[in-house]
Structure 1
Amino acid sequence: MSNSIAAIILTKNEDKHIARCIRSLEGICDEIFVIDSFSTDRTCEIAEALGAKVYRNPWKNYATQFNYGVYQCPIQSEWIWRIDADEYLDGNIGMAVKKALAECSQEVNGIYVRKRIDFMGRPLLHGGWYPSYHLKVFRRGHGDCENRWMDEHIRIFDGIAITVAEGNQVDDNLNDLTWWTEKHNGYAIREVADMLLMEYGMDAKAEEVQPKFFGTEEQRRRWLKLKYIKAPLFVRPFINFFIRYILKGGFRDGKEGFIWHILQGFWYRMLVDAKIYELKKRFDFDKERIKTYLIENYKQCANK
């Protein structure tokens, strides 16, 4: 086994981030594939100059775009590493993963790595955000990205996954708050579709991460999301903020942590609820009409 690694990076106007991301992969990944959604800045030029292979594909959603890279790009490496353009490898995570791949048994088809979120230049180390482990590395042919509109995870079809607890895969977006809020408004639309598909039992459960409280991090997060969906509209954003900021100590991350929890933990969640209410009201709270709308507009991730 070669234990070679190919990174897949999705991009759209990421010239602020792409060089940092690719340079963090040097000496770790043998191949780098950038799947670009027709950027109008210097993203592709920078990526190609740093040795990445750039492919362009129209954007539908994250899962579709990532799986285009998995199945349509000429990947030769044995393993695939999922990393976003605004992320980078920090500390000894890269070499620790390579060591784990060299030593793991044939039944290992996935690697969990530790993720850290930096917001406004500050690492978020409390509020349940850190340490957080995500399945980012998987054996080619044994996994892909589950097809969801939001909160999509890597899934492996067989075998087991192990954890590497050294270093961090850091999510550190350098754009300003205007960009951040606009992006999260777009996220909210996808979140509405995802939550309603789950609420009405229209998501493709058999093909997705199975919800389990005592399972993997993804399974636990999916279980908690199902519980969140069942909570009352407009009440659950307050509950989410209280649990993360107060009970889980998010206040310990200073002013940046306060802004993060207000925006991500409360405002964003309230925006999603408002959009859900708006959609349900549009169809007079008629479940069948809402389900028809979801099938017509989001059938790619709906189980009819």
Structure 2
Amino acid sequence: MTHITAIILTFNEEKHIARCIQSLQAVCTRICIIDSFSTDRTIEIAKDLGAEVFSHVWENNYAKQLNWGVQEATIQTGWTLRIDADEYLTEELQQEIKQRLPSISEGISGIEFTRKVLFKGHWVRFGGFYPIHLLRLWRTGLGSCEQRLMDEHIVLSAGETIRFKEHVVDENLNDMHWWVLKHNNYARREAADALNQKYQLAFTTDLTAAGNSQAHVKRAAKNSFYNRLPLGLRAFIYFIFRFVFQLGFFDHPKVWMFHFMQGLWYRLLVDINIFEAQKAASDDPERLKKIITKEWKIEF
């Protein structure tokens, strides 16, 4: 049997955590929760299902939190798996892991899963949202989360990557009020990431860290084309491209709301944050850094 430790970051995930853990129990020998001091029943549910819980203050930086959790958990299993609390492994993926992982060659260090996003019970199949391939399983010690404020990926220090065909499902059960609050926070983090890339406020982001993966292709397109377009206008262009040319209108009408909110409203919000920060700081990097760390409370 090939042993796997799963890492899950949580904060008030009582709606999702049992579903996530139960989908992992078939393939993982150890499940570790890295909790940001939840005030609901997240910790209670996780412990009842046999998960270990580690508590660590959230610094509005996913990469720092995940890398802290991996280190603090002192993982001894051969493989490490990353999953979000509102995701779960399908039974087909559980079987694929059990069948294929024991025979993986030594030269393979990472395994990509295909993510399937559901919104209001409907599959987000078009608009560039499927298939999305993410490196979620890696040989312990050979993977870490790259230092970015948004769109963080696991990068390998050695070895090759292969892809399993079955799905990890992303299905958040919270209401739209919660979704808007979450994306308000995301918008500032993405704006901070963009400003850091432009002004080199803290760390240097390696835009090629994701190698030749799907993530790298998207990142290169965003850096070479999208980021060169005027603020605001680019959000409208992206939405039209996604909804029309990437066939988002073929999705269920309930999913149209997702494409509009995530593909237009959110992108406009990111640009508004960038514009306001640059105007307030008069493009002074030191003043920009203070706005991000003091006012936005985002740690680099």
TM-score where L is the length of structure 2:
0.93
For residues 123 and 152 of structure 2, what CA distance do their matches in structure 1 show? 23
Instruction: Name the residue aligned to 1:197.
Output: 196
For residues 95 and 4 of structure 1, what CA distance do their matches in structure 2 show? 14
Q: How does 1:232-247 map to 2 (within 5 A)?
A: 232-247=230-245
1:181-206 CA distance string (max 9 Å, x none):
01100111101111111223454235
Please state whether the residue corresponding to 2:13 is helix, strand or coil: coil
Instruction: Name the residue aligned to 2:93.
Output: 93
Please state whether the residue corresponding to 2:241 is helix, strand or coil: helix
Instruction: Name the residue aligned to 2:30.
Output: 31
Change (3 A) 1:275 1:55: same
Q: CA RMSD in A?
A: 1.9
Instruction: Name the residue aligned to 2:52.
Output: 53
Instruction: Name the residue aligned to 1:220.
Output: 217
Instruction: Name the residue aligned to 1:81.
Output: 81
For residues 127 and 295 of structure 1, what CA distance do their matches in structure 2 show? 31
For residues 263 and 185 of structure 1, what CA distance do their matches in structure 2 show? 11
Measure how far apart 1:79 and its partner are: 0.6
For residues 163 and 135 of structure 1, what CA distance do their matches in structure 2 show? 8
**Quick one: which amino acid aligns to residue 204 of structure 1?**
T
1:115 paired with 2:121, answer: no
Answer yes or no: is the 8 Å Cα contact 1:6–1:33 preserved in 2.
yes
Instruction: Name the residue aligned to 2:126.
Output: 126
Larger deviation: 37-46 or 65-74? 65-74
Measure how far apart 1:116 and its partner are: 0.8
1:40-90 CA distance string (max 9 Å, x none):
111000000001001111111211111112111132211111100000111
Please state whether the residue corresponding to 1:63 is helix, strand or coil: helix
Answer yes or no: is the 8 Å Cα contact 2:278–2:288 preserved in 1.
no
1:264-302 CA distance string (max 9 Å, x none):
000000011011111111122x3444555378668964x
Q: Tell me which of 233, 251, 256 is aligned to 2:249.
A: 251
For residues 25 and 289 of structure 2, what CA distance do their matches in structure 1 show? 48
Instruction: Name the residue aligned to 1:230.
Output: 228
Identity %: 43
1:66 paired with 2:66, answer: yes
Answer yes or no: is the 8 Å Cα contact 1:146–1:209 preserved in 2.
no
**Quick one: which amino acid aligns to residue 169 of structure 1?**
V
**Quick one: which amino acid aligns to residue 178 of structure 1?**
H
The ranges of structure 1 where at least 4 consecutive aligned residues each deviate by more than 3 angstroms after the TM superposition are 208-212, 287-301
Answer yes or no: is the 8 Å Cα contact 1:19–1:47 preserved in 2.
yes
1:159-186 CA distance string (max 9 Å, x none):
11101012x1111000000000011001
Measure how far apart 1:262 and its partner are: 0.7
Larger deviation: 52-61 or 91-100? 91-100
For residues 140 and 211 of structure 1, what CA distance do their matches in structure 2 show? 18
Q: How does 1:250-289 map to 2 (within 5 A)?
A: 250-284=248-282, 286-289=283-286
1:211-254 CA distance string (max 9 Å, x none):
77xx2112112212313222211111011101111001111112
Change (3 A) 1:105 1:187: same
Unaligned runs of 5+ in 1: none
Please state whether the residue corresponding to 1:92 is helix, strand or coil: helix
